Amino acid sequence: MPKVVYVHPDGSQDRLDVPEGTSVMQAAVAQGIVGIVAECGGSAMCATCHVYVDPPDAESLPAVGADEDEMLDCTACPREPGSRLSCRIVLTADLDGLTVRLPEKQR
Amino acid sequence: MAQTIEDFTSTIHLQDLWEDPYPIYRQLRHHRPVAWVPAANRYLVTRYRDVVHLERHPEIFSAAEQDSLMIRVMGRTMLRKDGAAHLRERKAAEPALRPRAVREYWTPIFRKIADELIDGFYERGEADLFTDFAGPMAARSLAVVLGLHDVAPQDLQTWSQAMMDGTGNYGDDPAVWQRSDAAAGAVDEAVDAAIASLRSAPDESVISAMLRADDPLTPEEIRSNIKLFIGGGLNEPRDVTAVASYALLTHPEQRTLVTADPARFKDVFEESARWIAPIGMYPRQTTAEVELGGTLLPAGARLGVMLGSANRDETAFADPDAFDINRRDRAHVAFGGGPHFCLGSWTARAQVGQVSLPTLFRRLRGLRLSDSEPVRLGGWVFRGVLNLPVRWEP
């Protein structure tokens, strides 16, 4: 099962085994990871599941879609080149070991 | 102890909740967080963690409530559907309410409406911001966003109130039904007229989006959902505008912070929606026997999901009764959550946080509460300030 590493703003980490087909947001919410709020439950409508993905992981992700791009302009913490909505990152075997950084706040 | 709590829940009167629900909510959170409250004829879910949990499990905590008064008044709207049936209708409306549409189309119109309303009373040096600004601002904005271009804002406010009174008519008062039925009929006529004109001249509005969706909504679906949006898109921005203005007028140190840095009106909006959630309660119904917050709920149990209490939960928010735009705990649930997360959230943020509040506090110099009458608050299903008499130096 692919692993995902969630890095909190204080540097501490949570590592989760995430079934393929599950989003980085869904896995975080199911395990109660603080820092992913995900108000809208995955509709790309709330911008509260914002994460930062650094190179080289960032290159292995699918391109940012139109709805995601729009919502990333509405995040509580500044948008950076590696900004993504974690509801739009669905785990595959290729993404094993993906590391996402959590922002200071989601609202 | 258990007996004492039963005694307490059975003595809760709706009038007490209407006047000040927060001390009652605190008791419930501490002693019976999922409590059968006879006066409400529901289990009230008062803790933050339980509210968030049930929002994440719509398959157990269903929005499709049986014998719903909302359905009686409005027909079967998307807010009383689950799953794919809900999503289809929501997606049809969504393009008109996403952040980009709000920024490009609606915000400039909101600015114009706010300025016109203030122009209308500016020279008087006094007004009731609830009736003279917050209400008409919300109504005029809503008419444009929905695509009801020929509807008078006052009519929209009347229809909204009549339908909301109907959805809360648990006492089966025939006069209330008569008013809500009349309002629903008037909305049907207005929507049919709007559909006819928007078919030939499409625009960025909600009704136009519903007509142009990949899977377009039928006129009947549009009529029901527009009733929902009139019920849910008017009083809420009105009430947050009035509550936020009241909060700033009574917290001068925080007012100083935001007038020095108007970008912080965003924080005022969020904290006002947390502090006095405009929608204090919404219903859900269990689809199976389930345990929640230490209470075993039978299948079919009617729940009152108490957003007004969850937003004051001391385990989620430090000093929860205080209005504090600087608080660190900011994940309030005023917009609900999950599939039914407020579709109008971005419209409301722009209308209230980016336009109404900054414009009022910039243009009305020396804005202060008038001593002509006290500010009153009321409500628990819906809560807000009921009047806001103010003065300024023209």
The whole-chain average pLDDT of chain B stands at 96
Task: Note whether B99 contacts A: Cβ–Cβ < 8 A.
Answer: yes
pTM of the model: 0.95
Q: What is the chain A residue with the closest CA to B57?
A: A41
| Distant-in-sequence, close-in-space partners of B167: CB < 8 Å, separation ≥ 6 | B69, B70, B72, B73, B74, B180, B231
Tokens representing residue A82 in the block = 């590696």
Task: Note whether B49 contacts A: Cβ–Cβ < 8 A.
Answer: no
Are B337 and A40 inside 8 Å of each other by CB?
Answer: yes
| Distant-in-sequence, close-in-space partners of A81: CB < 8 Å, separation ≥ 6 | A58
pLDDT digits (tens, 9 = 90+) for B227-258: 999 998 999 999 999 999 999 999 999 999 99
Angle formed by the axes of helices B235-250 and B153-167, nearest 10°: 100
> Strands B281-286 and B302-306, how do they pair?
antiparallel
Are A41 and B337 inside 8 Å of each other by CB?
Answer: yes
One-letter amino acid at B179 equals R
Query: A51 phi and psi, to 5 degrees?
Result: -135, 160
Distance between B94 CA and the closest CA of chain A, angstroms: 9
Strand partners, B281: B306
Query: Of how many residues is chain A composed?
Result: 107
Distance between B335 CA and the closest CA of chain A, angstroms: 8
Burial of B150 (0-12, 13-18, 19+ CB in 10 A): exposed
Residue range B71-76: average pLDDT? 94
pLDDT digits (tens, 9 = 90+) for B30-61: 999 999 999 999 999 999 999 999 999 999 99
Are B341 and A41 inside 8 Å of each other by CB?
Answer: yes
Is the predicted pLDDT of residue B1 greater than 70, yes or no?
no
Helix (H, G, I), strand (E, B) or coil at A14: strand
ipTM of the complex: 0.90
- Three-state secondary structure readout of chain B: CHHHHHHHHHCCCHHHHHHCCHHHHHHHHHHCCEEEECCCCEEEECCHHHHHHHHCCCCCEECCCCCCHHHHHHCCCHHHCCHHHHHHHHHHHHHHHCHHHHHHHHHHHHHHHHHHHHHHHHHHCEEEHHHHHHHHHHHHHHHHHHCCCCCCHHHHHHHHHHHHHHHCCCCCCHHHHHHHHHHHHHHHHHHHHHHHHHHHCCCCCHHHHHHHCCCCCCHHHHHHHHHHHHHHCCHHHHHHHHHHHHHHHHCHHHHHHHHHCHHHHHHHHHHHHHHCCCECEEEEEECCCEEECCEEECCCCEEEEEHHHHCCCCCCCCCCCCCCCCCCCCCCCCCCCHHHCCCCHHHHHHHHHHHHHHHHHHHCCCCEECCCCCCCEECCCECEECCCEEECCC
One-letter amino acid at A6 equals Y
Whether B228 contacts B146, CB under 8 Å: no
Is the predicted pLDDT of residue B312 greater than 60, yes or no?
yes
Task: Note whether B105 contacts A: Cβ–Cβ < 8 A.
Answer: no
Is the predicted pLDDT of residue B6 greater than 90, yes or no?
no
Domains and CATH numbers, chain B: 5-391 (1.10.630.10)
Q: What is the chain B residue with the closest CA to A34?
A: B331
Domains and CATH numbers, chain A: 3-101 (3.10.20.30)
Q: Which positions 231-260 of B are in contact with A (Cβ < 8 Å)?
A: none
| Out of B8-12, B25-29, B243-247, B366-370, least confident range | B8-12
**pLDDT of amino acid B279:** 95
pLDDT digits (tens, 9 = 90+) for A32-89: 998 999 999 999 999 999 999 999 999 999 999 999 999 999 999 999 999 999 999 9
Are A105 and B338 inside 8 Å of each other by CB?
Answer: no
Strand partners, B282: B305
Residues on chain B touching A76 (C-beta within 8 angstroms): 330
Residues on chain B touching A67 (C-beta within 8 angstroms): 98
Are B330 and A105 inside 8 Å of each other by CB?
Answer: yes
Question: If pLDDT is split at 50, 70 and 90, which confidence band does B2 have?
Answer: low
Q: Which of B120, B190, B127, B198 is nearest to B155 (CA)?
A: B190
Of all residues in chain B, what percent carry a pLDDT higher than 90? 94
Whether B304 contacts B24, CB under 8 Å: no
| Distant-in-sequence, close-in-space partners of B80: CB < 8 Å, separation ≥ 6 | B63, B64, B65, B68, B70, B71
Q: What residues of chain A have any CB closer than 8 angstroms to a CB in chain B?
A: 29, 37, 39-41, 43, 45-46, 48, 67, 70-71, 73-74, 76, 105-107
**pLDDT of amino acid A98:** 97
Are B98 and A40 inside 8 Å of each other by CB?
Answer: no
> Strands A3-7 and B61-62, how do they pair?
unpaired
One-letter amino acid at A101 equals R
Indicate which of B59, B88, B97, B98 best probes the interface with A, i.e. most A CBs within 10 Å of its own CB: B98
Tokens representing residue B245 in the block = 């203005």
> Strands B281-286 and B126-128, how do they pair?
unpaired
Q: Which positions 53-72 of B are in contact with A (Cβ < 8 Å)?
A: 55-56
Residue range B354-372: average pLDDT? 97
Is the predicted pLDDT of residue B197 greater than 90, yes or no?
yes
Residues on chain A touching B53 (C-beta within 8 angstroms): none
Task: Note whether B124 contacts A: Cβ–Cβ < 8 A.
Answer: no
Residues on chain B touching A46 (C-beta within 8 angstroms): 335, 341, 345
Residues on chain A touching B341 (C-beta within 8 angstroms): 39-41, 43, 45-46
Residue range B318-336: average pLDDT? 95
**pLDDT of amino acid A107:** 87
Count of beta carbons in the 10 Å neighbourhood of residue B370: 14
Q: Which residue has the tokens 């078919």?
A: B199
Residues on chain A touching B98 (C-beta within 8 angstroms): 45, 67, 70
**pLDDT of amino acid B232:** 85
**pLDDT of amino acid B7:** 82
Are B341 and A107 inside 8 Å of each other by CB?
Answer: no
Is the predicted pLDDT of residue B4 greater than 80, yes or no?
no
**pLDDT of amino acid B5:** 74
Distance between B77 CA and the closest CA of chain A, angstroms: 19
Angle formed by the axes of helices B153-167 and B135-146, nearest 10°: 90
Whether B353 contacts B264, CB under 8 Å: no
